[in-house]
Structure 1
Amino acid sequence: MNKESTITQGQLFFLIIKFEIGVDILSLPYQMHLSSKGGGWISVIIGGILIQLIILMCWLLLRRFPSSSIYQILTRITGSWMGKILTVAYIMYYLLMGTSVLVSAYDVINRWMLQKTPRWAILALILFSSIYLVRENLRTIARVLVLISFLIVPMMFLISYGIKQANLLYLLPLTEAGWPHIIIGSKETLLAMFGFEFILVVFPMVEGKSKGKLKSLLLADGVVVLLYGFTILTCTSVFSPQQLDLMPEPVIYLLRSIPLGTMDRVDFIFLPIWLISIFGSISGYYYAASYGLGYLFKQKNHKQAVPFVVFVSCIIACIPQKREDFDLVGTIANNSAYFFLIALPLLLLILSYIFNKKEEPGT
């Protein structure tokens, strides 16, 4: 594998942080309030532990095939025909996840900033940029996305301004919702932190030993748990429970309430930064889908598949017409993640042990 087709463990660390912090950072405090009340940050910790266990499970599968992506692993374990069917399914999953992020990003930008801008203009801005980036080799993509990941710093800096208005009494009692609801609320964190599935495709392209890759993954996930927990604590301590009941996107309301020098609308600073960050997540999903298509049709690389992936994603993104339709796309994508990130990798791991399927040295 040539140098341009690999990334370092440090780059993997930043990529996972970038992919796990997505659209849901705007609405997660609201979702946590509905399910866990003041104990939302506890739900985040529980969800983070669950994500760590899922990552560990995926790593156990990937380390048995250190030079194979999920697409090659499917063929090795299930055979040629079933492997192709599951490969198509994974391609559709990555495409759907990328489209879900695209649709959610459009919905937020359309409602909060560009109400009169046509949908096609907003989508074209993101999609043409995606084609330009995703057609590059993995190392170039990683370098760009690592730079984008640093935009999380100003995002969290702006959110932290809300601490000045915090009232910690809003958090009490911490277990008001009850432990069953707090534990169930961790499901929302689970959905918000999906994004590590990028590793299923690029694992063999990460330099170093398997244990080093695992450390990067777990450390990145731990950082995201802290950032999400901080965001939820800030929002739930600034707004009363009655206010949060009416705020589907508390982070934006928080930013609108913050005076920052001569800026009357701090959210106009935050949202463009957030949109650039979201562009990175979309590009990651498009790369994973394009890589799968390239493998399926035995192409030398993924470049020829990129326009097709972006075109199909654009068509799907243009179908929803109402807010309920946007939510439906996200619901379908999130529910499919349970199968492709938990159920299927676990099944593959079990089968690999039952039938003693693993990659021999030199194969």
Structure 2
Amino acid sequence: MNKESTITRNQLFFLIIKFEIGVDILSLPYQMHLSSKGGGLISVLIGGFLTQLIILLCWLLLRRFPSSSIYQILTQLTGSWIGKILTATYIAFYLLMGTSVLVNAYDVINRWMLQFTPRWAILALFLFSSIYLVRENLRTITRVLVLISFLILPMILLISYGIKQSNPLYLLPLTEAGWSRIIVGSKETLMAMFGFEFILVVFPMIEGKSVGKLKTILAANVTVVLLYCFTVFTCQTAFSPQQLDLMPEPIIYLLRSIPLGTMDRVDFIFLPIWLISIFGAISAYYYAASYGISYLLKQKSHKKAVPFVVLASCIIAYLPQRREDFEFIGSLANSSAYFFLIVLPFLLLILSYVFKKKEEAET
């Protein structure tokens, strides 16, 4: 594998952070409030722990085939025909996940910034910029996305202004909702942290040994859990429970209430930064889907598949007309993630042990 097709572990660390902090960061404090009340922080920690277990499960499969992506592993374990069918379903999964992020991003932009801008114009911006970036080799894409990942710092700094008006007493009692609802609420955190599934495709392209790769991914995931804890804590202590009941995206309301010099709308600083960050996550899903198509059609490069993937995603994102349709796409994507990130990798891992299949270069 040439250098243009590999990335370092340091780059991987920033990529995972970038991919896991997505659209849901805006609404996670609200979701935690609805499900867990003051125990939202506990739900976030439980969800982060569950995410670590899912990453470990995927790694146990990938380490047995250190030079193969999930697409190649499917063929090796299930045969040519079944492998092709499952490869097509994984391609559809990545396309669906990318479309879900795109739809939710458009929904936020349309409601908070560009209320009178036609949907096709906003989607066209994503269309052309995604095609331009995703057609490049993995190392070039990674360099751009790592650069974008540093935009998370000003996002967190802006959110941290809410600490000035925080009242920790709003969290009490921590277990008001009951442990059952707190545990169920961790599902929202789990869905908010989807993004690590990119490793199923690029794992063999990461430099270093399998154990080192795992440590990097887990460290990045812990970092995201801490950032989510900080965000949930800030919003749940800056607003009373009665106020949070009325705020589906409390971070934006928080920023609108902050005086920052001559700026009357701090959210107009935050949202463009957030939007650029979201673009990186969408591009990752498009790359994973394009790479799968190139493998399925036995092409040397993913470049030819990129325009078709991005165009299909934008067309699907253009079809929904109601808020309920947007939510349906997001729900469908999150539900399918459980199968493609937990059930199927677990079954493949079992098959690899039953049929004693693995690569000799296991590390």
Q: TM-score, normalised by structure 1?
A: 0.99
Residue type at the aligned position of 2:142: A
State percent identity of aligned pairs. 82
Distance in 1 (CA, whole Å) between partners of 2:300 and 2:217 is 28
Q: Aligned-pair distance for 1:29?
A: 0.4
- Asked if structure 1 preserves the Cα contact closer than 8 Å seen for 2:66 and 2:361, the reply is no
Residue type at the aligned position of 1:273: I
Distance in 2 (CA, whole Å) between partners of 1:154 and 1:74 is 41
Q: Secondary structure at the match of 1:114?
A: coil
Aligned residue in 2 for 1:54: 54
Aligned residue in 2 for 1:178: 178
1:187 aligns with 2:187: yes
Q: Secondary structure at the match of 2:284?
A: helix
Residue type at the aligned position of 1:320: P
Aligned residue in 1 for 2:82: 82
Q: After superposition, what is the alpha-carbon deviation per residue over 1:311-340, rounded to whole angstroms, capped at 9, x for unaligned? A: 110110011001111111100000000000
1:316 aligns with 2:316: yes
Distance in 2 (CA, whole Å) between partners of 1:141 and 1:361 is 28
Aligned residue in 2 for 1:346: 346
TM-align CA RMSD: 0.8
Residue type at the aligned position of 2:111: R
Distance in 2 (CA, whole Å) between partners of 1:31 and 1:283 is 26
Alignment map for 1:1-363 (pairs within 5 Å): 1-361=1-361
Q: Aligned-pair distance for 1:361?
A: 4.1
Distance in 2 (CA, whole Å) between partners of 1:64 and 1:121 is 45
Residue type at the aligned position of 2:30: Y
Q: After superposition, what is the alpha-carbon deviation per residue over 1:16-51, rounded to whole angstroms, capped at 9, x for unaligned? A: 000000000000000000000011011000000000
Distance in 2 (CA, whole Å) between partners of 1:107 and 1:83 is 36
Distance in 2 (CA, whole Å) between partners of 1:340 and 1:58 is 10
Q: After superposition, what is the alpha-carbon deviation per residue over 1:23-80, rounded to whole angstroms, capped at 9, x for unaligned? A: 0000000000000001101100000000001000100000000000000000000111
Q: After superposition, what is the alpha-carbon deviation per residue over 1:283-306, rounded to whole angstroms, capped at 9, x for unaligned? A: 000000000000000000100000
Distance in 1 (CA, whole Å) between partners of 2:337 and 2:34 is 22
Distance in 1 (CA, whole Å) between partners of 2:246 and 2:179 is 24
Q: Aligned-pair distance for 1:357?
A: 1.1
Q: Secondary structure at the match of 1:64?
A: coil
Q: What is the number of residues matched between the two proteins?
A: 362
Residue type at the aligned position of 2:290: S
Distance in 1 (CA, whole Å) between partners of 2:37 and 2:236 is 8
Unaligned runs of 5+ in 1: none
